[in-house]
Amino acid sequence: MPAPPSDPPRPPSAAVQLEEALGRTVRLWLREAREEARTLRMSVPQLFLLGGLSRLGEIPATRWAEMAGVSPSTATSLLDGLEAEGYIARAHDTRDRRHVLVSLTTKGRSLTDRLHESRRTRWNEACRGLPAAELGAAAATLERILARQSERPTGPVRDPSTDRSGASR
């Protein structure tokens, strides 16, 4: 006996469509970042952290490590490479010599300015011709979603087949 006809698949909700579009956008940005990093002979975390220094200015090396999500020893290694290339400088904090501050050098600032301008140009080209009202609404919606997401606690994804102790049910 033939199977009964099934209903046609429902299109994904607008929220799912937005999530998927953002996922594709992030993957595109990461691919571009990997290419930039490869061209510059540095790692993607180094590239991202140069951008962070560009936005934040001089920061403690421990904060730099936290931003990168790496251990202090890994941060030291990443910073060593950037310092050897002349992109960053490290100095002891004059108020507390136990802390090391990291800042961009002129060469590092020049690089981050060029990268930022290149990215901004690509983004503006992608947005060319789109109504300003739509772009503004998209930005406002994303800001609201980000605010909601940042209010929620994050943590590891849990397997529903295990209890809180990690033991199988």
Give per-residue pLDDT as tens, 89-103.
999 988 888 889 999
Does residue 150 carry a pLDDT above 90? no
Give per-residue burial for 144-154: e unless 16+ CB within 10 Å, then b.
Answer: eeeeeeeeeee
Please report the pLDDT score of residue 160 as a whole number: 64
Count up the domains in the chain and report the number. Answer: 1
> Can you give the residue range of the structural domain that contains 78?
45-120
107 located within any domain:
yes
Does residue 157 lie within any of the structural domains? Answer: no
Determine, yes or no, domain membership for 106: yes
Q: Give residue-wise pLDDT tens across range 35-53.
A: 999 999 999 989 988 998 9
Structural domain contains residue 35:
no
Is residue 128 one of the residues assigned to a domain? no
The whole model's pTM is what? 0.73
Let me know: does 74 contact 81? Beta carbons within 8 Å.
no
Does residue 85 lie in a domain region?
A: yes
User: Given this model, what pLDDT does residue 133 score?
Assistant: 96
- Considering the domain boundaries, does residue 127 fall inside one? no
Q: How far apart are CA 161 and CA 169, in angstroms?
A: 6
Helix 72-84 with 61-68: angle, nearest 10 deg: 110
Q: What is the CATH number of the domain that holds 79?
A: 1.10.10.10
Query: Using an 8 Å Cβ cutoff, are 104 and 88 in contact?
Result: yes
